[in-house]
Amino acid sequence: MKLAMIGFGQAGGKIVDKFVAYDKEHGSDIVRAAVAVNTAKADLMGLDHIPESQRVLIGQSRVKGHGVGADNELGAEIAEEDMDEVQGSIDSIPVHEVDAFLVVAGLGGGTGSGGAPVISKHLKRIYTEPVYGLGILPGSDEGGIYTLNAARSFQTFVREVDNLMVFDNDAWRKTGESVQGGYDQINDEIVKRFGILFGAGEVEQGGEVAESVVDSSEIINTLAGGGVSTVGYAREEVENTGGGGGLLSRLTGGEEEDNLDTAHTTNRITSLVRKAALGRLTLPCEIEGTERALLVMAGPPKYLNRKGIERGRKWLEEQTGSMEVRGGDYPVTGANFVASVILLSGVNNVPRIKELQQVAIEAQENIEEIQQESDDKLEGLVNDDEDELESLF
């Protein structure tokens, strides 16, 4: 699947930068265009792979390249005001060659948190291609303002995109690690999972490759219908001699051994599907109640088989209760692993989202209370003034 990626803010830019590197390394051909947008000049300069011509500094007249801190309202205002500059770099993208846009941002900060929903809304107004979001939730140790920013940005972002894929830093942070080192690892994890998912849709059907290759319309259909998505992943190393049906079994001429191989391959696939769905998701949640799902099995063609994928798909249907579970192969000839990636789209039972919604509601109530308080005070002041004025005369 070919994407036009737009990284908003520091986290967004770094993750898109990593996608570009992944794409070059694996030849997966998913990043048709990459743009980084920021209010902080230093963050744009720190990128390695996105071409300089595709790095857009916004808000120069207001923050002079120094960023907006954690002020996401200012981030949103600037994005709104300088949309023409962002559009200028999108104009250089051959949009007819992309299947979708992907807007990536950390939701706890200022620029990405405020700007990602604004750019998404803009893209949806102009283009017919789907606009997906990849939103990063902050760690709970980052502090209240980050949580509040994320709560607010999430609510708007999910409304403006065709589907919001989420990665929760909080579920992935490791203790005792430097923040930067931690982010590098986390970003690798993000790019690996989404790289396999989107890469699956780029393999040509037919030829000698497997029978049921995932195509981009299956990814698009799984994401269609909106809501929030999460991704599971599991892998197992395999020996890849590059051959077809296993040299040993051909030498020994044993049909039995072939059957054993097939059974082993099928079992490996079904257990990888379970591990991916029940292991750590990008956004931890109950998988029951998921609206749509897509299972991608990646690896050398000889380690993929239709029976295993079909079983895995059925199991996912049972676990999620969804009637819309797709599945297929992503043949990667040279790989020394078999991996399963599961996209769960339209998840409904997500504790972290409920927590964020609660934070947003409380903040809203507080705002009303504060507003009310200050109105009362103002009224009091005016009345006092009037009393004072009256007593003067």
> d(Cα 97, Cα 246) in Å, to the nearest integer?
39
Q: Is 7 in the site for ligand GDP (CB under 6 A)?
A: no
Number of residues that bind ligand GDP (CB under 6 A): 20
Cross-strand partners of 340: 234, 297
Select from 110-118, 254-262, 278-286, 328-336 the region that touches ligand GDP (CB under 6 A).
110-118
Beta carbon nearer to ligand GDP, 145 or 224: 145
Select from 29-37, 117-125, 158-166, 182-190 the region that touches ligand GDP (CB under 6 A).
182-190
Strands (E), 238-307: 292-299
- The set of residues, in sequence order, having a beta carbon less than 8 Å from that of 147 and lying 6+ positions away, is 108, 138, 140, 356, 359
Select from 7-15, 79-87, 265-273, 285-293 the region that touches ligand GDP (CB under 6 A).
7-15
Q: Is 63 in the site for ligand GDP (CB under 6 A)?
A: no
Q: Is 108 in the site for ligand GDP (CB under 6 A)?
A: yes
Q: Is 135 in the site for ligand GDP (CB under 6 A)?
A: no
**Nearest distance from residue 345's CB to ligand GDP, in Å?**
21
- Taking CB under 6 A as the criterion, the residue among 11, 287, 309, 342 binding ligand GDP is 11
Q: Is 214 in the site for ligand GDP (CB under 6 A)?
A: no
**Nearest distance from residue 151's CB to ligand GDP, in Å?**
13
- Taking CB under 6 A as the criterion, the residue among 147, 153, 163, 169 binding ligand GDP is 169
**Nearest distance from residue 179's CB to ligand GDP, in Å?**
8
- DSSP codes of every residue in 139-205: PGGG-HHHHHHHHHHHHHHHHHSSEEEEEEHHHH--TTS-HHHHHHHHHHHHHHHHHHHHHHTTSPS
- The set of residues, in sequence order, having a beta carbon less than 8 Å from that of 223 and lying 6+ positions away, is 130, 132, 162, 163, 229, 292, 343, 345
Beta carbon nearer to ligand GDP, 108 or 199: 108
Whole-number Cα distances in Å, 330 to 93, 197, 266, 303, 341:
27, 9, 16, 11, 10
Q: Is 195 in the site for ligand GDP (CB under 6 A)?
A: no
Give phi and psi for 28, each to the nearest 5: -80, -15
Beta carbon nearer to ligand GDP, 13 or 331: 13
Q: Is 183 in the site for ligand GDP (CB under 6 A)?
A: yes
**Nearest distance from residue 312's CB to ligand GDP, in Å?**
28
Q: Specify the pairing of strand 131-137 against strand 163-168.
A: parallel
- Taking CB under 6 A as the criterion, the residue among 10, 147, 156, 163 binding ligand GDP is 10
**Nearest distance from residue 352's CB to ligand GDP, in Å?**
13
Write down the residue that tokens 């709970």 correspond to. Answer: 140
- The set of residues, in sequence order, having a beta carbon less than 8 Å from that of 309 and lying 6+ positions away, is 212, 269, 295, 297, 327, 328, 329
- Taking CB under 6 A as the criterion, the residue among 59, 112, 130, 299 binding ligand GDP is 112
> What single DSSP character describes residue 119?
H
Q: Is 138 in the site for ligand GDP (CB under 6 A)?
A: yes
Nearest 10 degrees: Cα torsion 232, 235, 240, 243:
-50
Which of 198, 229, 213 shows the shortest CA–CA distance to 297?
213
Q: Is 57 in the site for ligand GDP (CB under 6 A)?
A: no
Cross-strand partners of 131: 101
Which of 50, 45, 44 shows the shortest CA–CA distance to 18?
50
Contacts with ligand GDP in 113-132 (CB under 6 A)? 113
Q: Is 9 in the site for ligand GDP (CB under 6 A)?
A: yes
> d(Cα 181, Cα 143) in Å, to the nearest integer?
20
Beta carbon nearer to ligand GDP, 139 or 299: 139
> d(Cα 58, Cα 89) in Å, to the nearest integer?
12
Euclidean distance between the first and the last CA atom of the chain, given in angstroms as a whole number: 79
Beta carbon nearer to ligand GDP, 109 or 199: 109
**Nearest distance from residue 114's CB to ligand GDP, in Å?**
8
**Nearest distance from residue 10's CB to ligand GDP, in Å?**
3
The site for ligand GDP (CB under 6 A) is made up of 9-11, 14, 106, 108-113, 136, 138-139, 142, 146, 169, 183, 186-187
